[in-house]
Structure 1
Amino acid sequence: MIRFIHAADLHLDRPFEGLSELPAPLHARVKTSTFTALARLIDRTLAEKADFLIIAGDIFDDSHRSLKAQKRFIQAMERLQAAGIEAFLVFGNHDHLDDPWNRLDFPENVHVFPAFPTMIPYRTRDGRLVHLYGFSYAQRGVTEDMAAKYVRKDGADYQIGILHGAERTAAGDDRYAPFAIGELAEKAFDYWALGHIHKRQQLSPPLPIWYPGDIQGLSVKETGEKGALLVELDEQGSRVRFIPTADILWKRQEIVLKGPVTAENLGKAIDRAKEEVRSGQYGVFLTTDFSFSDTDQDRDELSDLIQEFTEAMNDGEEERNDFVWLNPGEMRVGTDWNREELLRSPHFIGDLFRLIETNGAMEEAAALLYSHHAGRRFLSPPTDEEKEKIKREAERLLVERLLPDVRRKN
């Protein structure tokens, strides 16, 4: 048997997204969170007596170049070197090889794959021969199917592919080493160590093709536990176990209140949501969505109440190791309504709903934003999922403002 750790997407020293101003203790905690996650990754690699560590790309982040990140990473690799553990790395789209930012030299136990798919052999302490295959991004975008260029070389006890990339899409907008699951399976490798997608998942179970996700969530979109994978390979196949590394988690909860909203029932609901996610293992940034029904209170009044309670209930959290810091999310106000009926309605709001669903309406509405140089620089085009979310939110706002007494029947 061989045992190794599979990690990816460290994005060392990258700032969090989606947070407003934080108290100094939380700001300091956030700033060191990726380094804390890295230390925990190395701790577990040593504790598990792993044969080696694989990092499948985006160790660093070109959006926030940091000499500190390089030095911390080198120190981590030196810890592995002292224990006789090798590390196999590929660079991805955020730390590609042609970045003019100079890198420091790594210790001798670190093996970096070049820009063309290459096999690096490794023999474990008990004599098992492992062939590891991978490549590093030569530039930020790699549109070629690089997996097709992985050439299996027989003679090893285990064959492992390392690939920073994404599954090929029907739309054809593939900038990150696009692959098809079928072609990975055809290589007959014992394990595929993937990177790039920040969500832990196994592609097409029971095939041994895994994304470990990132080791520390970096935005409100990256909810849930984050970490790496402990992988064991033997003649019976692969066994994969998740190991947590994150110092701070992002979570989201919906708070539902029916009837008049009072300071007492709102405070109890928020406090209950906080304590449900609190853990002694990590801090939590909790996004709270609110849904109010059967109340005559208007949106502005409720919004002010939520803001006041959020500030009050965040007070003192910055001093706790297991903090739960509230961030108000979406708010829905009003009674229920039926979307399909409104789409068929001859009323003005029906015209607006139908306009929202017109092909190209969203792109036209956002054209001014994306034509601005700052918009092009800082905003990526919305995904299909994000477009649908924007549409539904626009419909909700229209209903709340224009038809406060409409009822939803579904």
Structure 2
Amino acid sequence: MGDIRFIHTADLHLGSPFSGMKGLKKEQWQFVKNSTYAAFDRLIDYAIKETPDFVLIAGDIYDGEDRSIRAQHRFQQGMERLADAGIPVVLGYGNHDHLSGQWVRFELPENVHVFGPDVSQIRLATRNGEAIISGFSYGERHVKRAMIQDFLPAEESGAFYIGMLHGSMDGETAHAVYAPFTKQQLLEKNYDYWALGHIHKREELHHNPSIVYPGNIQGRHKNESGTKGFYDVSLSKSGTSLQFVPVSAVQFDGLSIACGGIMHMNELIDACRNSVEHHLIEHGPSILQLNLADVDEGAKELFEEVTEKELRETLQEALEELETFVWLSSIEIELGQEVFEISPLAEKIIAAMDSWQLADWKNALKDLYRHPKGSRFLEPLSDRETVDIQAAAIQKIRRNVRMGE
């Protein structure tokens, strides 16, 4: 048997609202809002150019259970383009776009094979053998049952077995745990490849057979940083070759800028502009969180006399002449004890936060996460998120609660 070749993607999140991004001009906001669609179009363009045997989409095609008409139309158009190119698509819906949502129905072309709420198999003939693809769609938003139990083991030696599973490893803390599984449970099925979805960070959990998260195709906030895309997979009975294909239209990232020796604001602005410009040349359109590092005594007055908002607006204005889109989401300043002496009260607050567990953070932030409108735009609180929240809180405390105040 020769190789079969397919695209493995997941978590398109078409129609993502990109909530919390304030201050963008109309055309900038449209650029960010359209980024999931632009990434999706790049995926379709790549597939038509490369003509794989088929495309796998492992859940969360849409960002919400009430799929917008625009998102469905864009997806339907993409599937029609693949149909015209003779490329089959196999997909399952995830927890974000489960089958119990309410939406205006769009008819997908015949090349698209959709899993129902129960685990089933779809057979696709390729030039180098038959692919038997097992998977399911979420019948409702919260699938807590271990669906892996319903996947049939591989039995036909002359076929390629692929499992599609939108879910998370048992014990995962970065995302809500849905359709949990263990690596051993996957391996026991003797499949040739596991196409996973749900976790927005690309990762190969196992090699030969490959168990793979491709991540999402477009970052949506600072915790989904870096280049996003999908995998072009070549699969044989002797092994797997993975080629990551970047398609994100705008990249979330953190950028550290050394401020040692800076004494004047124009020096700081020039340093930030030069660093941002180099980042854009390498990574393209970006939404950046600036980290002003190595702040020493010479820069003390610069940060005492301006607010973070004023500084961010000034830097954003200085970046407008750059041809590539860039937006500064926030600015963090590394202020050491030797530069700003903070009060004993501030030290007590910081020490108290150091001892907090996840339950303590949930209690402190419960009003925010219980808000009927705002909570739907928040990712589940995890240990990873609390690290970022604590770091931001400490920066604000060190800056605003000082000796003598």
Corresponding residue SS for 1:209: strand
Give the TM-score of the pair, scaled to structure 2: 0.88
Unaligned runs of 5+ in 2: none
Residue 9 of structure 1, CA deviation: 0.7
Q: Summarize deviations over 1:146-179 as a string: whole Å, max 9, x none.
A: 11210024224210000101111178x9641111
User: Once the 2 structures are TM-superposed, how far is the Cα of residue 207 of structure 1 from its aligned partner?
Assistant: 4.2
Contact 1:217/1:226 (<8 A) preserved:
yes
Instruction: Determine if the alignment matches structure 1 residue 303 to structure 2 residue 307.
Output: yes
In the comparison of the two structures, how many residue pairs are matched?
Answer: 395
Deviation at 1:29, TM superposition (A): 1.8
Give the structure 2 partner of residue 135 of structure 1: 136
Q: SS of the residue aligned with 1:329?
A: strand
Matches within 5 A, 1:60-79: 60-62=62-64, 65-79=67-81
In 2, the alpha carbon distance for the partners of 1:27 and 1:279 equals 21
1:252-401 equivalent positions in 2, closer than 5 A = 252-279=254-281, 282-291=284-293, 292-295=295-298, 296-297=300-301, 299-303=303-307, 306-317=311-322, 320=323, 322-336=324-338, 348-349=345-346, 351-356=348-353, 357=355, 361-370=360-369, 373-374=372-373, 376-401=375-400
**SS class of match (1:29):** helix
Displacement, 1:72? 1.4
Counterparts of 1:11-26 in structure 2, within 5 Å, are 11-26=13-28
* Aligned residue type for 1:129: E
Change (3 A) 1:361 1:218: closer
Amino acid at match of 2:389: I
Equivalent residues of 2:201, 2:213 under 8 A apart: yes
- Tell me the equivalent position of 1:150: 151
Superposition RMSD in Å: 2.9
* CA drift at 1:263: 2.5
Paired residues of 1:248 and 1:284 also in contact (CA < 8 A): yes
CA distance in 1, matches of 2:10, 2:72: 16
Amino acid at match of 1:388: V
TM-score of the aligned structures, taking structure 1 as reference length: 0.87
Q: 1:213 to 1:311 in 2, by over 3 A?
A: same
What residue in structure 2 maps to residue 5 of structure 1?
Answer: 7
Distance in 2 (alpha carbons) for counterparts of 1:95 and 1:170: 21
Letter in 1 for 2:146: D
CA distance in 2, matches of 1:258, 1:64: 50
Letter in 2 for 1:15: P
- Once the 2 structures are TM-superposed, how far is the Cα of residue 281 of structure 1 from its aligned partner? 7.6
Structure 2 match to 1:89 = 91
Q: Distance in 2 between matches of 1:236 and 1:382?
A: 41
Contact 1:97 1:136 in 2 (8 A): yes
Structure 1 SS opposite 2:365: helix
**Corresponding position of 1:208:** 210
1 CA distance for matches of 2:337 and 2:164?
Answer: 52
Q: CA deviation at 1:22?
A: 1.5
Mean CA deviation greater in 22-31 or 244-253: 22-31
* Alpha carbons of structure 1 residues 348 and 24: separation in structure 2 relative to 1, 3 Å: closer
The residue that corresponds to 1:408 in the other structure is none
Contact 2:312 2:331 in 1 (8 A): no
2:183 and 2:46 map into 1 onto residues whose CA distance is 30
